[in-house]
Structure 1
Amino acid sequence: MAARKKAANRYYSGPLSDHFDGTLFFNPDGRLPGRFTDLLKWQLSGKRSKWPETNPSPFPQAKPAARIDGAELLITMVGHSSLLIQTAGLNILTDPVWSQRASPFSFAGPKRVNPPGIAFADLPPIDLVLVSHNHYDHLDLPTLKRLKAGHDPLVVTPLGNDAIIDDGVPGMRLSAHDWGDRLDIGKGTAIHIEPAHHWSARGARDRRMALWAGFVIETPAGKIYFAGDTGFHDGINYRLMAQKHGGFRFAILPIGAYEPRWFMASQHQNPQEAAQGMRLCNAAYAAGCHWGTFQLTDEPIDEPVEKLNQALDNQGIPRERFRALRPGEAWDVPEIEHR
């Protein structure tokens, strides 16, 4: 009997590649996401840690300057994978989520346990938004609508996600790209769209129909690497980043949502792997993200920080070089020798 024909991709059509089979995207030489039966096995295991209802940050909500010029690089944590990057006169947001829940519903799904580290009204003018993939804790249409209305930024995202955003936020300025693409945005700055080991879905019938990615921001103040969501994948993509870009002044690396390993390892690296990744990609400084705001997995709320510090100590990396940022925390990243 002939194989059943795959459903058409609702978000993207294009030529075959080493990570697109004509219908679905995949991780080259990598692992597919778990099956529904694996999801049920995990959800019914009863090993989920209990997070507090609220976990306020020790830092007050930040009020960033309108612009940061020259070689200064200021990073402010909003929460989860949402960070404000300010350098070279540009204001850039990564995976912005100001909603109360990382969910398609306003009444159910993972709820934030601390408010955004920057009140939306206190955002400086936003020039550019990087959206790494379409999971709800990264692509939040209500937030993008607010950004469109108040800032009209350019949104850079991997292939297929532009269709989702355009449908939910008509008129948003969008630039969709494949792995390996480069986008010049002016002021001596360019965005490189780079591989990550992950997957995508907004529902039960669109798995892997949109691409996932990390980004390298090439600026006059140095290169910045935002890895998006990623499994460690034997460090392959980290080595590729070092080979292609030489090294980084700063990296934003996920450290949370990693337990249980049998289910999460292919999609979310753990803190030990994040520390390895920092070394492999040759980053001078790094911030840990994807932890402490939305409970997505089993580990206790503060475990990523504890595990990260242990990993840094074990690998001989000074703790001040890799910080697990909390909402409202701002970091004036030191300059390094030219890379």
Structure 2
Amino acid sequence: MQFIDLKAQYHALKGEIDANIQKVLDHGQFIMGSEVAQLEAELAEFTGVRHCIACANGTDALQMLFMAYNIGQGDAVFCPDITFIASVEPACMLGATPVFCDITADTYNLCPVSLERQIQAVLTEGKLKPKAVVAVDFLGNPADYDAIEAICKKYNLTLIVDAAQSFGALYHGRSTCAIGDCATTSFFPAKPLGCYGDGGAVFTNDDKLAELCKSIRVHGKGDKGKYSNVRIGLNSRLDTIQAAILLSKLKALKTYERDARQKVAQRYNAAFESSFTTPYIAPDCLSVYAQYALLAQDSTTRDAVLAHLNEKKIPNMVYYPIPQHALPVFANVPSHQETFLNAMDYCDRTFSLPMHPYLEEAEQDTIIQAVLEAL
């Protein structure tokens, strides 16, 4: 049994994936081949934005945006306390300071109340300039964008949606990649839309921002090409072979994979809702369940369940065991008296079960039985 079964997905899509890879091998355009532009066009159409700029990975996608917005020394970038470090790491590399905010107790996403409290604390202190908010759709579940967008507008902050885990998710009918000033996603193999290596993309309706990102993606190239450099940039192109693979996988995601994830989650929810806190999806929202996380009654119960799953050789994970504010690398980052109560509680009680579109019902039953018999 696999936590995320990429082999099963490959076997289901083998014919088309193999054919797409062979096409690239035949034409030999391994860097910025036609498949990259085709993928960008299809991703833009699927998400409902004007521009998609593919790049080497999801972290670079964020860095390209931080560079385009000239985020750096003296700037504050606000981010939920429960995420992967990549959400703010590029901003830190550019000299900005992360300001972590607590999460909501239900969706585990950025808490609007904590966000505004942290913005006001930074303004009162006067040492940093509030510049941007990185809202993360944790585990594939959309954040509360009505509230977050209103706060960003109130304080004139750039809203960057980190949709690394939520490609395909919907918030009130909108793709999460079409929300805010811009969005990013990751094509890391385990993501809802993943390639066979690293990859990422930027999404935006801002024509100027799109052109800036295209320049930054290729060493800050100018209108006359990559040897006419007009700014400092990155080397962050998406390989043509990865684009070819993603074209096949995007079709599967749209056709049936997203629905298949819903069915697995529904069976899990029905089995666990009386014993655990199951994922909460807000009305008129669709999660893509990049991971399926439960909250146990307490850490002792969680640890007992994980021990039993390990004994039964059932894959499991904890996303994430340590909140950002408690990481050693951020030991000197001010908390502005935020207590992060929800984040700490989440880390103490969370665990995740196998989740992917190819998880057979018999496997689901084995997982469900093992979890429940551990109680």
Q: TM-score scaled to structure 1, two decimals?
A: 0.32
Q: TM-score scaled to structure 2, two decimals?
A: 0.30
The higher-RCO structure (CA 8 Å, 6+ apart) is 2
Greater strand fraction, Structure 1 or Structure 2: 1
Greater helix fraction, Structure 1 or Structure 2: 2
Name which one, 1 or 2, has greater alpha-carbon Rg.
2
